Structure 1
Amino acid sequence: MQDSPSLWLGPMRRPVRLAAIVAGALTLALALVMFVNNLIYTDASGMHEMLRPAGRPIVQAMLALLAISFLLASVYLSDTIGVIEPRPTGPFDILSLALGRLAMIGVVFIVLVMFYEVVARYVFEKPTLWANELSLWIAGFVLLFAGLYAMQQRSHIRIYIIYDMMPRWAQKTADVVSLALIWVFAICLIWGGYNEARDKFLRMETFGTAWDSPLPATIKPAILLIILLVAIQALSNLIADWNKDPGSHSPADEIDQAEIENIRRAVEGD
């Protein structure tokens, strides 16, 4: 992601960055303390206790710092955009952009978890009971947040062959019909899944494994929440694009000229 002026944080950009670094450093320090404690003490708090933090101040502090670190990092990263990313057009775009950045952080976290599992399994012959399930849990949220981010970026697959031949009023009509279909789907999904999602969350339904994470209790409500946000984002896109000049689309639109230029400079530098 290239360095660019502040999108929305303004003078708060530097304090947010500093707070994210401090929170991340404290999180890593506390994680190191917990890791060392597990090597020394048999009753130390580990990943099993991370899901059951009641009465364990160090676990509660770890979870709070981890959440704050992720939140601040995603907020800070949402204050810049890449070369091919469109500028946000409203507050809801900022929310979607921040959740998209959170999904990107989640991908990195999945890689770290799986790397830890590979080393533990094949180097020390001590596989974990939680790595695969944790990566699956995170991946579920990554996919949901990525869907919202894709809607904000207008990067879902679309076929423009007929759309580009339409007059502008017909294009607007097609956009309204598409939005209506998205909202019908969202309402039906929320209407049909609300009771189940509520029950899973209230009883904090778990996965039924050795680690026994509350994956069903969190993923199911998140699906309904994200599909609602996707529908709102689609409405926001329609409003933002309503008075824009009609554009044409070609295969050349998919070419990232900035990336090609970066590759060219890297090759010439070698």
Structure 2
Amino acid sequence: MKNEIHPETPDSSERPRNALDKVIYTFGNTISLLFLFTVAISFYEVLMRYVFNAPTMWVHETASFLGGMLFIYGGIYALSINKHVRVVLIYDLVSDTTRRWLNVFHHIMGLLFSGLLSWAAYQMVQDSWFTPLGDLRLETSGSAWDPMFPALVKGMVFATLCIMFVQFSLHLIQELNGLRKRKDV
């Protein structure tokens, strides 16, 4: 439900809930400008390829890399402002207390999900950042340009999942505190 006085202002459920969420939200709004950069370099590629017949070797991989990184970041951004996926058909029909318990269940499942995926992502990072002997060697794309974007994307997946685990922990604590306060009243 939107704020009636200022319709453009999100209600309290669409705002960051804690300091970590505020940092994620602010940083996300800042790095969203990279979408404009991606459009600009894609336009540059089209211009170079079709007007000057001089295609680049770096634009496609860079645009894909930036888009992928922003998409990955979108998960923690959506969680920071409570815009993640939920079954609103059920969620909107139940009482506030039931909603809180559904949130507790959601956060517990989110902890399990992000914890297990963090472990899998850690294994991916190990394989893409280190040789079997333990030397640092970032995996590259294998193209003519050969940037280390695959290793960086895997590192971003791991870091984002770890942050998401912390987010779910904080949200669970806040939700349980909210339930306890309602009981005390």
**Contact 1:104–1:142 (CA under 8 A) maintained in structure 2:** yes
Query: What are the Cα deviations for residues 105-134 of structure 1, in whole angstroms up to 9, with x where unaligned?
Result: 121110111011111111111100010000
Q: Note the aligned Cα RMSD (angstroms).
A: 2.5
TM-score normalised to structure 1 length: 0.55
TM-score (norm 2): 0.77
Aligned to 1:117: 45
Cα 1:181–1:88, aligned 2, differ >3 Å: closer, same or farther? closer
User: Where do 1:1-270 residues align within 5 Å?
Assistant: 83-84=9-10, 86-201=14-129, 202-240=136-174, 243=178
Cα separation, partners in 2 of 1:237 and 1:172, compared to 1, 3 Å: same
Deviation string 1:43-100 (CA, Å, 9 cap, x unpaired) is xxxxxxxxxxxxxxxxxxxxxxxxxxxxxxxxxxxxxxx7338443322012211331
Query: Which digits, 9 at most, give the CA deviation of each residue in 1:1-49, with x for residues without a partner?
Result: xxxxxxxxxxxxxxxxxxxxxxxxxxxxxxxxxxxxxxxxxxxxxxxxx
Displacement after TM superposition at 1:168 (Å):
3.6
SS of the aligned residue for 2:109 comes to helix
**Which ranges of structure 1 fall in alignment gaps of 5 or more residues?**
1-81, 245-270
Which runs of at least 4 in structure 1 moved beyond 6 Å after TM superposition?
none
Q: Contact conserved, 1:198 with 1:221, CA < 8 A, in 2?
A: no
CA distance in 2, matches of 1:147, 1:89: 16
How far the C-alpha of 1:238 sits from its partner, in A, is 4.3
Ranges in structure 2 where 5+ consecutive residues have no aligned partner: 1-7, 130-135, 180-185
- C-alpha separation in 1, matches of 2:90 and 2:68: 35
Greater CA drift, 127-136 or 155-164: 155-164
1:118-158 deviation per Cα after TM superposition (whole angstroms, max 9, x unaligned)? 11111111100010000011111110112211111211232
Q: 1:89 to 1:191 in 2, by over 3 A?
A: closer
Give the drift of 1:196: 2.6
Letter in 1 for 2:101: T
Q: Secondary structure at the match of 1:100?
A: helix
Structure with larger Rg: 1
CA distance in 1 between counterparts of 2:116 and 2:168 reads 16
Distance 2:63 2:143 in 1: 14
CA distance in 2 between counterparts of 1:129 and 1:146 reads 27
